[in-house]
Amino acid sequence: IDVKGLVLGVFENEGEQGSVHLTEAAAGFDKALSGKLSELLKISGPALKKGKSRIFYGIHEDFPCVAVVGLGKNNAAVCGAENWDSSKENIRQAVSVGCRLLQDLEVNHVEVDGCGDAQSAAEGAVLGLFEYDQLKSKKKTKVTTQLHGSADSAGWEKGVLYAEGQNLARLLMEAPANHITPTAFASIIEEKVARHAEHVTIHKRFDWIQNQEMGAFLSVSKGSEEPPVFLELHYNGSPDPTRAPLVLVGKGITFDSGGISLKPSLSMDAMRADMGGAATVCASVVTAAALKLPVNIIGLAPLCENMPSGKATKPGDVVKAKNGKTIQVDNTDAEGRLILADALCYGHTFNPRAIVNVATLTGAMDVALGSAAAGVFTNSDWLWEQLHKASVVTGDRVWRMPLFQHYTRQVTDSQLADLNNIGKYSRSGGACTAAAFLREFVTAPHWAHLDIAGVMSNKDEVPYLRKGMSGRPTRTLVEFATGVVHND
């Protein structure tokens, strides 16, 4: 049975006591009901604060259930202290609350107030309703959404595509590792880009890895029975095919046991999401194609498992990367930087406009910033400004971290090789040491490393995301690509 619901917004009233400050769409709805909605809001309890909700039944024949949500102050704007646009975040949070409330009532079609920013409203709705329940017998009600009371259908559709991109990354990260092997991951992305075949080409590379002499990547994969895959996506959206591409590189460890340097069993199940970098990068390329962005993007994802076995790389082994540098592997659980090293070397062959790698790289990043922001290590002030500007819009924050020579000395003083894959003298500054290691494989003037370990999962920190893997920072990567187009 089709059951329709409606989500409407109300701002915190800063004027006359007892009055109600409705959004434009909510005011139109209220007028059609001869003021019944505003009257009910006055008598049903205290004024709605930001993120709070109230539901009314039977007040309109087309909508058996109407959820009214608090948007906070109408004058909210970019907040320097929080490094995001508070108005956009308030809308995402409020709309998600209303949509979930109606979903719990088994309403399967929801019309959503644009709240003055249809894109943010769409993001709140689509992100807030997502839950990974593919493997459960009892599933959440599937809800379709549409814009209500606004002419900004373009903004709404853009928000839907942004959110669906992040939800794709969430699905890949949340799914169990026996369902998302390197081969399965590549096949899912192949299926997603098929509808954009005119502008996207995909290469699933196997023996090619050996031919490219990616010894660092192969040293990680050799302990697993699952074959490694190097996934390469080319989105050609620019009217000028010779325009230098953005290269996005994502760490794709589909399960990380730590290898011979085995992780503790507690919470090891979460390492099914250690391919979060690859998931967000590939989802960003899919989204850019769906948006038809006028930019060229190359997405690279080295995919493999990190497992212990008789064939696995051992602590103290020395391997050779694609650029000829030798690496002493003192800890096989510092594997992400090894597969990224070869992918970064390959990424330079495209003469990129900028190269950005994304990885759930270090627990130290989680210790440093927690889930508040992804850490950005970069050699380019321009690139940092572009990433930061994008994150303010999406509310998916990034924070610049140091790339001091102090950390480089930690990885270049190796007893047996050119480099060591962990800090030689101290575990302190682990996220910075990992970034310094990656910099040894970078010659591009505009490079950034995003360590997303701290933002990999969500408990309740981001109110419009349910508990589980977050898919962050997919929307920021898409907004970054959009911004580069506008600034060229």
Q: Is 263 a catalytic residue?
A: yes
Q: Is 337 a catalytic residue?
A: yes
One-character DSSP codes across 422-472: S-SS-STTHHHHHHHHHHTT---SSEEEEE-GGGSEESSSSTTS-SEE--T
CA distance 228 to 208: 11
* The pLDDT of residue 330: 96
Cβ–Cβ < 8 Å for 296, 481: no
* The pLDDT of residue 294: 97
**Does the pLDDT of residue 253 top 80, yes or no?**
yes
CA distance 483 to 488: 9
**Does the pLDDT of residue 201 top 80, yes or no?**
yes
Q: What b/e readout covers 73-97, taking b as 16+ CB neighbours within 10 angstroms?
A: eeebeeeeeebbbbbbbbbbbbbbb
Residue among 100, 320, 337, 472 flagged as catalytic: 337
**Does the pLDDT of residue 1 top 80, yes or no?**
no
* The pLDDT of residue 132: 97
Summarised one tens digit per residue, pLDDT across range 256-278 is 999 999 999 999 999 999 999 99
Q: Quote the DSSP letter at residue 272.
A: G
Mean pLDDT of 9-20: 79
Please indicate whether residue 245 or residue 487 has the higher confidence score (pLDDT): 245
* The pLDDT of residue 424: 80
CATH architecture of 4-151: 3-Layer(aba) Sandwich (3.40)
In CATH terms, are 4-151 and 176-486 the same topology? no
Summarised one tens digit per residue, pLDDT across range 320-376 is 999 999 999 999 999 999 999 999 999 999 999 999 999 999 999 999 999 999 999
Candidates 50, 54, 56; CA nearest to 36 is 56
Written as six digits, the tokens of 140 are 């959440």
pLDDT band at 2 (very low <50, low <70, confident <90, very high): confident
Q: What is the pTM of this model?
A: 0.97
Rounded alpha-carbon distances, angstroms, from residue 3 to 99, 106, 125, 261, 404: 13, 8, 17, 53, 58
Domain ranges of the chain: 4-151, 176-486
Q: What average pLDDT does the chain have?
A: 96
Least confident of 39-43, 75-79, 253-257, 265-269: 75-79
* The pLDDT of residue 15: 65
Written as six digits, the tokens of 436 are 């310094």
pLDDT band at 16 (very low <50, low <70, confident <90, very high): low
The yes or no reply on domain 176-486 and CATH 3.40.630.10 is yes
* The pLDDT of residue 335: 98
Cβ–Cβ < 8 Å for 311, 300: no
Residue among 52, 73, 204, 263 flagged as catalytic: 263
